[in-house]
Amino acid sequence: MTARQRLWRIDQIHFDENQEFYYYSVSNVSGVPSNEVLFPSIESIKKSEIPPPAKDKLGSPRYQQLLLQALRLDLIYGTTSFISLQNSKVIPISYQMVPVLMALNMKKVRLLLADDVGLGKTVETGLILQELLGRKRINRVLFVTPANLREQWQTILRNFFGIDAVIMSRRNRRHLESELLVGGSPWGYYNFVITSVDYAKQLDVRSEIMQFNWDMVVMDEAHNIMMPHGGVDDVDNKNIKKSYLFARQLTEKYPHLLLLTATPHNGYKDSYTSLLKMVNPNIIEEVDTEIEIDKDLAINHVCQRRRHDVEQWIGDRYEKSPFPERDSDEIFITPSDQFHHTMEKLSKFANYVMNYVNKLTTEDNQRSYWTILHFFKRAISSPEALICSIDNRNDEIDKKLNEKHQAIENLTQFLSIEEAGQSVLDGAETDRISEEERDIRNDRIVLAQSMDLLSQEKGLLLEVQVEAEKLKKKDRKVDELINEIIPNLLKNSKKVILFTRYIDTLKYIHQNLKETIDSGSLRYKGMDLFYVHGQLPSQKRMEIYDDFLKNPAAILISTDCMAEGIDLQFSANQIINYELTWNPNRLEQRNGRVDRFGQPEPKVFIRTLIMKDTIEMDILELLVKKAQNIKEEYGFVPGFFGDPKDIIDRLTKRRKEKLKPQATLDSYLKLTPRIMDDLVSTFYNKENLEEILKDSFYGHNNIDLQEIEHRMQMSQEKIGSSATIFAFLKSSVQLYKGNLTQAKENEHIFEVQLPPEILHDLNVEVEGPIRVTQNMNLGATRKDVDALSLKNALIAGLIEKVKNEAFIEEKQFYGRTAAFTSTHAETVKAIYHLKIRYYINTDPPSITEEITTLGIDLFSEDILTEKSINQIISGEMNNAGKPDAFVLKHIAKALENTDLEIKFEDLANRRKQELINERTDLIQRLQEQGLTADLQGISDVKVVGTDLLTIAIIYPQGD
């Protein structure tokens, strides 16, 4: 339509309930997004139509075919089921479209995406965003993530979905504000903002965020923002968890919400249901202090699949599983004599501490026990980690000696029992302090109350340190890693990721590996070495990872900063766990970084190092193995149930019952089966497991994957596949006198060269050839290669250029008229391509459009069947080779047909009815599957416009 002296395309019709008036979201006629809105009640808006093709201008079949390709690729607001398939650079498999379908059936999209690790929740989120953005249902999105995932989200959104999001942090804010007018807020200016939960939950930041309108909120690793078990649920209570309060406020205010987590249930119903209440408060009802879940309602809001659910779904429908085979094994390291000497000295120190703290309060006793376990765990990790802990503790002792043993003020605020326990048990970070800081504070808990006790403790620590320094020279664990374990894995592939719990161990491994590589070892010839940890800025971490990603032969050493939410499958297929994490969920998170959907290699290799004759063996047998058995029985890896205080209470009680007064801590740390069984029952009790299974929504088998695949196929037919995009690229490059050649190093990479003036028109600035690929995995692993999609800048520019030039009569490449010969035409035919626009009476109303064809016999005026039209337009098109004047007479005749408008109207009405039937059938199928939310109006369709795009005259071959 025409308004403000410009042509616009209406994308969505809105109704303001408060002011009671309609307004339109619009874009320009070619579909370029705009922030403009039109107000029909107060400004002049007139219906406009695309003028018919020129009767006196003849184009060519080549130009017309290219124009129609461009128009179809640009038809982002069409009648297809899934428009996200070509608005992203991912090739999803059918199960990943299930949450997209769920979202499309909601007026307000409120979903908890709770698929297992490795199934692609980030991909599912990106596809949902593209569907809603393409359909003009959302415009502004706030992403709330853990701090270490901000750059990962930014990269994925940009590279795979063409969404440019800014990262908002205290450090970035000044830069973002410098690009705005004075007083402008980046929160209100940018449409896509990524921020960390720790930054955003602060009162001043939270208040500013809430001042602006967001259409959708996406919260990743949502288990971090759920209400703690037994925690405060009153937003006015000062003791409420800050991240939970922030999440509550966001989810209550803004319409669309996606919560992402692989572990939504921690075994406590109150915590789990706090997430369900965020997506829809009506799901939860409290009856006599009992929490009830309305599962019939919740099933529409929760998408939760285990890996084996998906594998069963896929079955024989694909040539191979989308998941790799896992080759996983534990490698048992026999400790050296020097290791035992070190542990003996550490036990002597530990027993000394436990003896004097037994005289203190129960709480201090418990806190110290966690500290002792912490020291043993770090000793098992590496001698360097133990030495660093000793340095930290002696530094604290020296402060006390110098200050006449003043105690740490408010020990609970310094490090609570729960935080000390989580440090040992590899639990989640708290709102208060990072994991690294939590470990350091655990080193520094010194409770000795006299100068003599402090001095003796320091002396014992120095004895341990002497032995640990000796161990560094005779460390069998690091020797086996470098001389056997890594070289054996390098026989499979030249990329390895090594995880360790501690930064100090990371630096120790890096130093030893670097010395080996620098020495010229043939085993490591050509290998590069990288490391990342949580104390590096997140941007720096991603830069290092990108270098590792593109390197063909390299080792990456990382702490768990790369183990949560970051997809590593394109960079490597081998993982080494340098020590056993005591949290099976964390171990699964690590392994799931490479053992996941999209892993290009058929097999992943995972090795976990275990120190024999240590507490690691007990943890492996009675915790990790137990978790694996639970996964086999229940289908999920459970979290730890029970808080650290409960665990330490039980362990302390068992210690008093089972151990003689003269027993050493060595025998204590070699936990008895009874103690470990008690620990297991605290972590994994049957009641908690049954609670999870009862409350969860595993399977989601009510949605038929065949229906999803049918709709995906229909979408591909209407908007084209990656092969369609490549064909368009090839034709466009030829048209503009460029070159498209296969790269020498890889058959899947193509190099595009275009004249400088064409690149200028496309607003593409490059040095050298543009490198593209249809292989999405290759596009993900190579920064110098861009995967082809509609979000590709080159493709988008070519579409716009072809449309503009092929539509304008004065341009060289006019494509709205053409003539060609066909072996499928016995008489002269006319083929018309039409764009039909529909009004869908949903709430709010929406507009959709499609391109379709009409064929008639030019002289008998009989209408061609769909089969005949398809045979003609899909066959070989040879230039008619007839004089322009001769062809133009036939074009004029085809355009002047007296019944042409009636034929167009009949076609539009026929297509409308087919659309209604298709949507009515869809509603029935979805109702059978239990998905009926917000479908009202999708089958109430009206034709609101029909535009003639192109006309072609077809002559019989040899005529």
177-224 residue pLDDT tens = 887 877 788 999 899 999 999 899 999 999 999 999 999 999 998 988
Measure the N-to-C terminal CA separation of the chain; round to a whole number of Å: 43
What's the pLDDT band for 731 if we cut at 50, 70, 90?
Answer: very high
Residue 660: the pLDDT is 40
Instruction: Share the mean pLDDT of the chain.
Output: 82
The mean pLDDT of 897-904, rounded to a whole number, is 89
- Architecture of the domain made up of 325-331+475-613: 3-Layer(aba) Sandwich (3.40)
Residue 641's pLDDT is 45
**pLDDT band, residue 34 (cuts 50/70/90):** low
Could you read off the pLDDT of 743-762 as tens digits, one per residue? 887 888 999 999 999 998 88
Q: What is the pLDDT of residue 681?
A: 55
Task: Read off the pLDDT band of 781 (50, 70, 90).
Answer: low
pTM of the model: 0.72
Nearest to 445 by CA among 358, 366, 344: 366
Higher per-residue confidence, 949 vs 83:
949
Q: Which of 956, 955, 954, 949 is nearest to 815 (CA)?
A: 949
pLDDT score of 284 more than 60: yes
How are beta strands 166-168 and 192-196 bridged, if at all?
parallel
Three-state SS for 521-559 is: CHHHCCCEEEEECCCCCHHHHHHHHHHHHHCCCEEEEEC
| pLDDT value for 745 | 77
Q: Mean pLDDT over residues 907-936, rounded?
A: 75
pLDDT classification of 659: cutoffs 50, 70, 90:
very low
* Confidence at residue 12, expressed as pLDDT on a 0 to 100 scale: 66
Does the fold of domain 325-331+475-613 match that of domain 106-304? yes
Find out whether 431 and 201 touch, Cβ atoms under 8 Å. Answer: yes
Tokens of 319: 């040539």
- The CA distance from 311 to 699, in Å, is 11
Name which of 92-101, 753-762, 812-821, 938-947 the model is least confident about: 92-101
Best mean pLDDT range from 496-510, 816-830, 908-922, 935-949: 496-510
Q: Which of 19-33, 872-886, 905-919 has the lowest mean pLDDT?
A: 19-33
The percent of residues above 90 in pLDDT, for the chain, comes to: 35
For residue 228, pLDDT beyond 90: no
Q: Taking a C-beta distance cutoff of 8 angstroms, is the pair 589, 531 a contact?
A: no
Residue 900 scores a pLDDT above 70: yes
Q: How many CA atoms lie within 13 A of 622 on its CB side?
A: 20
pLDDT at 643: 47
pLDDT bin (cut points 50, 70, 90) of residue 915 is: confident
| CA dist 44 → 5, 41, 50, 454, 586 (Å) | 10, 8, 19, 86, 61
Rounded CA separation 635/692 (Å) = 11
Closest CA to 783 of 796, 771, 768: 771
Would you state the pLDDT for residue 609?
Answer: 93
Task: Write down the domain spans for the chain.
Answer: 1-48, 61-74+721-813, 106-304, 325-331+475-613, 335-471, 816-959
Q: Go through the chain and tell me how many residues it has.
A: 959
Query: Where do the H-state alpha helices sit in 659-721?
Result: 665-669, 673-683, 686-695, 705-719
pLDDT (tens digit, 9 = 90+) per residue, 116-129?
888 888 889 998 99
Q: At what angle do helices 383-402 and 451-473 cross, to 10 degrees?
A: 160
Report pLDDT for 655: 45
Residue 29 pLDDT: 55
The string of pLDDT tens digits covering residues 69-123 is 888 887 755 555 665 665 666 667 777 888 888 887 788 999 999 988 888 888 8
- Specify the DSSP element, H or E, that contains 23: strand 21-28
Tokens coding 87: 């608005």
Token pair, residue 831, equals 């083929």
CA dist 898 and 893 (Å) reads 10
Hey, what CATH topology would domain 106-304 get?
Answer: Rossmann fold (3.40.50)
Q: How confident is residue 667, by pLDDT bands cut at 50, 70 and 90?
A: very low
Rounding to the nearest 10 degrees, give the CA dihedral for residues 383, 385, 386, 388. 120
Say if residue 276's pLDDT is above 90.
Answer: yes
> What integer pLDDT is reported at residue 383 of this predicted model?
97
| pLDDT for position 714 | 66
Q: What residues form DSSP beta bridges with 554?
A: 495, 528
Q: Can you tell me the mean pLDDT for 446-469?
A: 92
Q: What are phi and psi of 32, to 5 degrees?
A: -65, 125
Structure tokens given for 494: 């030249």
pLDDT of amino acid 456: 94
